[in-house]
Chain A
Amino acid sequence: MIYSLHIQARSNPAMLEKILQTSRVRGFTIRSMDVKNSTATQQLKIHLTVESNRPQEQLVTQLNKLPGIDKLTALHAVEEAAPLQKQHSHAISMMYPM
């Protein structure tokens, strides 16, 4: 599925990295990203489109708890994409560490 999110966040060092990293680690591939950094308000405005086999909720709840995220709007699934290639899709039940 492809999802779309609007994020308003405080502009501090590494905020953007943290958002990118959270998306990657939680299994969401970034399709597009549009960022405006306003020095006047010290705010980042981000429009993010991500793709994943996992429910959008899994990314939204993780992003929502990052300190510095002021507002997060999750839009409906943009489109139902063809399933991702095997190597991109971590079905949760497949992951077993040693």
Chain B
Amino acid sequence: MNGAEYIVNKLISEGIDTLFGYPGGCIMPLYDALIESPIKHILCRHEQGTAFAANGYARATGRTAVCLATSGPGATNLMTGLADAYMDSVPMVAITGQVPTGLIGTDAFQEIDVLGMSLPITKQSFLVEHIDQLPEILDQAFQIAQEGRPGPVLIDLPKDIQLATLSEELRPQPTEGETTPDSPSEQSLSQAIELIKASRQPIIYAGGGVVLGDAIIPFRQFVETTGIPTVLTLKGLGTLPGNHPLNMGMLGMHGSAAANQCVQECDLLIAVGVRFDDRVTGKLSKFAPHAKVIHLDIDPAEIGKLRQVACALRGDIRSSLKALACTLEISSWQAQCKAAHERDGFTLPPEQGITGPHFMRHLSTITRGHAIISCDVGQHQMWVAQHYAFDHPRKHLTSGGLGAMGFGLPAAIGAQLALPETAVINVAGDGSFMMNVQELATIARYQLPIKIIILDNQALGMVRQQQEVCYQGRYSEIDLSDNPDFCAMTAAFGIPASSISDPADMGYAINKLMETAGPALLHVSIATEHNVWPMVKPGDANDQMIQGARQ
């Protein structure tokens, strides 16, 4: 058995049924071995597309996804997708071809130091220097990608290693299941319970770590048993259903004023699977200024990184949440939060014409919050977060930490392949859509029934908004009024497309789109001037939210 054949067997033993990749010189032996394999290989049309597709697959399922690329430009094109997975803790294994070991360091054709380049954006990177290392490196790669806080792992694989014969006939084994994660000490748990019981105005601040820790059910039980009002980060949306009475909504820069108020006034902040991102906290020194903090996280490096804690609960979130459940008497605080939520929750803007918020409310109602929404980055992404009522965080695929435009379309491909029966919708901006538009060809080739919605404001809207608010309306390079005819372009890929600009057509057009059997695109014209409100200006405190023209 040669190295390439061993890898294919290993992938099968790991339960990998779908690969995302793009071939080239230094990865040809592996592509040769794939011909006879039962694994379905999805040829995207750009390596960034392959990395984002694998990323979407992993986000929608929680299972490790694999992507392949050749050396040099293939590998460099993968990097954005790996960086995105690194920042949002997505389990992935990327395998890149490399020039033969004897040529490494000679500036050979398509030789790039991919190992070096990937170091800051992977959990671990390997260079296979000898065929006998291959089995162990593959085992470690799958283990590291999924254990603890998940993340991407890169294996750089010289061409001669793919062709070399393994000295023993080895049969790959699946990686050992989950290692049992540590649990916090009894002492710190009882300290946390004391803090909770002593608190009069507690808030739960929950993020992406809850679903990563497979803790959705214990989390919901904890919220309901304690009755503590809860705010969610962008990555935490769906952790409590959108309409749950204790869900005070998203906090942060484009969160609701109500959610931010609750946090500013709380005396105890129970931080669950979050990392105090600057988009969440605003000016850090003014964030939840009266609160003691209990921080639950699997990653010790996150605890105390940005905010001092009164109690650190390092380890498995599931077991911690179960241990912390207790009943509290906080009805006046609950009433205060509820009143804030009713007064200062997200509202629909007064503007005429189709607006992002109105459209998202329609979409949410028509799909009943059950669809997978894969977003790009910008204003449209925030409108999804504010107005689509997610029932589970794996339904919301969004590039949170990296904020990478071009994420949405390829990520939808990965999600749809993983979950063929689920409705998958890409909500794109006109700017973001063009960043991986070549993936329309992938959707057409595999006839994936993805629904694409472009919210076309003929602008890099989010940048425009910040120029309006922070740079006195001095607009610089945000104009996209010469966008292509998106419907004609999509039709050229064989995908049906239609366009609306009248609010009266929204309901009909969304229903029609969702009823289409295969892939389809809906182009939605919205005004350039609409902004995302409310907003905390970068660097301001979260109690300095601005409301725009509405007030």
Query: Do these two chains interact?
Result: yes
User: Closest Cβ of chain A: how far from B257's Cβ, in Å?
Assistant: 21
Residue of A nearest to B124 (CB): A67
Are A14 and B127 interface neighbours, CB within 8 A? yes
Select A97's contact among B119, B305, B538, beta carbons within 8 Å: B538
Residues of A within 8 A of B305 (CB): 58, 61
Residues of B within 8 A of A98 (CB): 466, 538
Interface residues in B141-193 by Cβ distance below 8 A to A read 144, 148
Interface residues in A1-40 by Cβ distance below 8 A to B read 12-14, 17-18, 21, 25
| B120 proximal to A (CB < 8 A) | yes
Place the interface of chain B in its size category.
20 to 34
Are B125 and A61 interface neighbours, CB within 8 A? no
User: Closest Cβ of chain A: how far from B87's Cβ, in Å?
Assistant: 13
Residues of B within 8 A of A12 (CB): 126
Residues of B within 8 A of A17 (CB): 116, 119
| B283 proximal to A (CB < 8 A) | yes
Are A93 and B283 interface neighbours, CB within 8 A? yes
| A95 proximal to B (CB < 8 A) | yes
Residues of A within 8 A of B303 (CB): 61
Name which of A25, A57, A61 has the most chain B CB atoms within 10 A of its CB: A61
| B400 proximal to A (CB < 8 A) | no
| B300 proximal to A (CB < 8 A) | yes
Question: Interface digits, A58-86 against B, CB 8 Å rule (1 contact, 0 not)?
Answer: 10011011111000000000000000000
Select A96's contact among B124, B140, B466, B538, beta carbons within 8 Å: B538
User: Closest Cβ of chain A: how far from B83's Cβ, in Å?
Assistant: 13
Select B123's contact among A13, A57, A67, beta carbons within 8 Å: A67
| B473 proximal to A (CB < 8 A) | no
Complex: A93 Cα to B305 Cα, angstroms: 12
Complex: A50 Cα to B129 Cα, angstroms: 32
Are A92 and B115 interface neighbours, CB within 8 A? no
| B492 proximal to A (CB < 8 A) | no
Complex: A21 Cα to B121 Cα, angstroms: 11
Complex: A18 Cα to B305 Cα, angstroms: 20
Residue of B nearest to A55 (CB): B304
Name which of B115, B299, B300, B538 has the most chain A CB atoms within 10 A of its CB: B300
Residues of A within 8 A of B140 (CB): 67
Are A13 and B115 interface neighbours, CB within 8 A? yes
Are B119 and A61 interface neighbours, CB within 8 A? no
Complex: A68 Cα to B125 Cα, angstroms: 11
Select A18's contact among B119, B283, B304, beta carbons within 8 Å: B119
Are B278 and A96 interface neighbours, CB within 8 A? yes
Select B285's contact among A67, A93, A95, beta carbons within 8 Å: A93
Known interface pairs A14-B125, A98-B466; A65-B299 also in contact (CB < 8 Å): yes
| B330 proximal to A (CB < 8 A) | no
User: Closest Cβ of chain B: how far from A57's Cβ, in Å?
Assistant: 7
Listed in ascending order, the chain B residues whose CB lies under 8 Å from chain A are 115-116, 119-120, 123-127, 129, 140, 144, 148, 278, 283-285, 299-301, 303-306, 466, 538-539
Query: Which 6 pairs of residues, A with B, have the shortest CB-CB distance?
Result: A61-B301, A96-B539, A67-B124, A13-B127, A96-B538, A62-B301
Can you list 26 A-B contacts with CB-CB less than 8 angstroms, sorted by A residue number? A12-B126, A13-B115, A13-B126, A13-B127, A13-B129, A14-B115, A14-B119, A14-B125, A21-B120, A25-B120, A57-B304, A58-B301, A61-B303, A61-B305, A64-B301, A65-B299, A65-B300, A65-B301, A66-B124, A92-B284, A92-B306, A93-B283, A96-B539, A97-B278, A97-B538, A98-B538
Apart from A13-B127, A65-B301, list 19 A-B contacts with CB within 8 A: A13-B115, A13-B126, A14-B115, A14-B127, A17-B116, A18-B119, A25-B120, A57-B304, A58-B305, A64-B300, A67-B123, A67-B140, A67-B144, A68-B124, A93-B284, A96-B538, A96-B539, A97-B538, A98-B466
